[in-house]
Structure 1
Amino acid sequence: MNKAAVVIPFYKNSLNSDEKTSLHQGLDILAGHPIIAIKPHSLDLTFLDPIKFDQVISFDNKYFQDIHGYNQLMLSTEFYRAFLSYEYMLIYQLDAFVFSDQLHYWCDQNYDYIGAPWLYPENNAALHLIYTFKSFLFGTVNWQSNGVPKKKQFYNKVGNGGFSLRRVQKFHDLSIKFANLAAEYLAKQKHEFNEDIFWSIAINRTKKNLLIPKYRTALKFAFETLPERAYKLNHHELPFGCHAWEKELDFWKPHMQKFIK
């Protein structure tokens, strides 16, 4: 079995400058691994010439039309079945950025899922304990308001799916076992029911089905929310990669300039 593949989703026939930056950085740093493009059947990737991928896999157009379609793809058995020859996949959306090639290192840590943790903003020790308890309590019992999960259950949870490592066989099997729960999530088209919330929180709510690291460990893998706080918590060290960097340019630009050729 192959160790890991880098999976890059494409859904349109052009890229903006930020997406080009993400793509070229990923291709450069992760060149030692199989890089697979996924796309809708109708999309022709020749606009990316002369870039070549190790493999291009096409799925139904419906999966690439909007966020709901993408959630459907990431919760489907069909998607993970296509990658069963790999132990892991690294999802690398085109708002991700990678700083070094740590892919095999993270595969060797033996987690089932890793993504950037959703940090809470407070840094006070007492508040840390309070928010940790509330995150556990609200997440365990799935407290909701007007049918939407309470925000507190996401605090310090791991993590975002846009730059994430997934153990393929485990995700494939769980997508079958929890198909009904996934259908419930897909029926509620709010961001609190996105696919990464499903894999990060819902799947482990009553029983640990996925081995996911604590948020401090996950910070070494990736940052997304509150990157200044993440950088401080990570002892002023950059992670393997990051997600949604273009939303936090004041923080990321000085760091990224060292890596962009």
Structure 2
Amino acid sequence: MKELVSVIIPIPDPELTPTQEKSLHRCLEALARYPVMFITAEGADLAIVKEHKADADIIYFPKEYFQSRQALAKLFLLDEFYDRFSWTDFLLIHELNSWIVKDELHYWCKQGYDYLKAKPDSSDSKKLPGQVSLILGLNQNEKLNIDKAFENNGLILCNVQRMIKALRKKAKTAYQYRHDEILKHRDAVFWEVEANRIWPTVRKPTEIVRNFFCIALSTKKTSSQYTGRALPFAFTGVSKDNIDDLPIQEVQGRN
């Protein structure tokens, strides 16, 4: 029987920081009822991961994709990557700069969207392109501004078959992005800008809905601003500087 959703946790560096370990522990705790797998470089020793999950399922990819976040983005723009997970309808790609607030994963899989991700950090919104530019196509500087706005934005829920179809339909553009050595988060820029330009290939939510799915923390906003019903499914952009500000006590009190 095909899985509705599986959780994928990329491990570029097996030497996890304390913040990453906390993120991992929270993910395994909050999403315990779903299959959780780890992707990492061939030959990597994930002993520290097995301390958190002894029976961890680990899938290995070539080392070249785990040298940096930019390299990992290249992997996420390959249809062959998603084809490895064709036995599940959805993937939740959970980088360890994210924090699951509450288990709404099943709910979000049933909302009819193909691609969900926190909106880009708009603290400097003047630098983000408008709708006309998004339709006509962006120049490199505009792409760089979006790329920067996706810094540390590491949680994606996607429909596996729709991702494969979109990447094959826009194969030429995806190839160009995979070989763009300037954009650090080229996968995020591709899905934000190119996937639905001219002709939609994936169903994406409005900005309001995106905020209920996941909120990217910035230096100007902290998670303490979001309480009660305003709490999203997850936060991303979590670091050692803001992890202590997460609404952990409130969430635990409601579990």
Smaller-chain TM-score bracket? 0.7 to 0.9
Alignment partner, residue 15 of structure 1: 16
Amino acid at match of 1:196: A
Amino acid at match of 1:185: Y
Alignment partner, residue 76 of structure 1: 78
Alignment partner, residue 109 of structure 1: 111
Say which of 142, 145, 150 aligns to 1:149.
142
Report the Cα offset of residue 9 of structure 1: 0.4
Q: Gapped runs of 5+ residues in structure 1?
A: 123-127
Q: 1:200–1:143: structure 2 CA closer, same or farther, 3 Å change rule? A: closer
Matched, 1:246 2:226: no
Q: Does structure 2 retain, via aligned residues, the 8 Å contact 1:95–1:244?
A: yes
Task: Give runs of aligned pairs for residues 1-261 of structure 1, distance below 5 A.
Answer: 1-50=2-51, 51-53=53-55, 55-121=57-123, 135-144=130-139, 147-149=140-142, 162-191=154-183, 194-226=186-218, 228=221, 237-246=230-239, 249=242, 253-258=245-250
Calculate percent identity across the aligned residue pairs.
24
Report the Cα offset of residue 238 of structure 1: 1.2
Q: Aligned to 1:14, what secondary structure does the other structure show?
A: coil
Which whole-Å CA distance do the structure 1 matches of 2:91 and 2:250 have between them?
Answer: 27
Q: Does structure 2 retain, via aligned residues, the 8 Å contact 1:92–1:164?
A: yes
Report the Cα offset of residue 229 of structure 1: 8.5
Report the Cα offset of residue 233 of structure 1: 8.9
Under a length normalisation based on structure 2, what TM-score does the superposition of the two structures give? 0.85
Consecutive aligned runs of 4 or more in structure 1 exceeding 3 Å deviation: 150-155, 157-161, 225-236, 256-261
Aligned pairs, number: 250
Q: Gapped runs of 5+ residues in structure 2?
A: none
Report the Cα offset of residue 121 of structure 1: 3.5
Q: 1:119–1:11: structure 2 CA closer, same or farther, 3 Å change rule? A: closer
Q: 1:11–1:153: structure 2 CA closer, same or farther, 3 Å change rule? A: closer
Q: Aligned to 2:174, what secondary structure does the other structure show?
A: helix
Report the Cα offset of residue 72 of structure 1: 1.4
Report the Cα offset of residue 113 of structure 1: 0.3
Which whole-Å CA distance do the structure 1 matches of 2:217 and 2:245 have between them?
Answer: 16
Q: Does structure 1 retain, via aligned residues, the 8 Å contact 2:153–2:216?
A: no
Report the Cα offset of residue 161 of structure 1: 5.8
Q: Does structure 2 retain, via aligned residues, the 8 Å contact 1:140–1:205?
A: yes
Report the Cα offset of residue 131 of structure 1: 9.5
Q: Does structure 1 retain, via aligned residues, the 8 Å contact 2:222–2:242?
A: no
Which whole-Å CA distance do the structure 1 matches of 2:210 and 2:224 have between them?
Answer: 12
Which whole-Å CA distance do the structure 2 matches of 1:224 and 1:249 have between them?
Answer: 12
Which whole-Å CA distance do the structure 2 matches of 1:31 and 1:100 have between them?
Answer: 12
Amino acid at match of 1:16: T
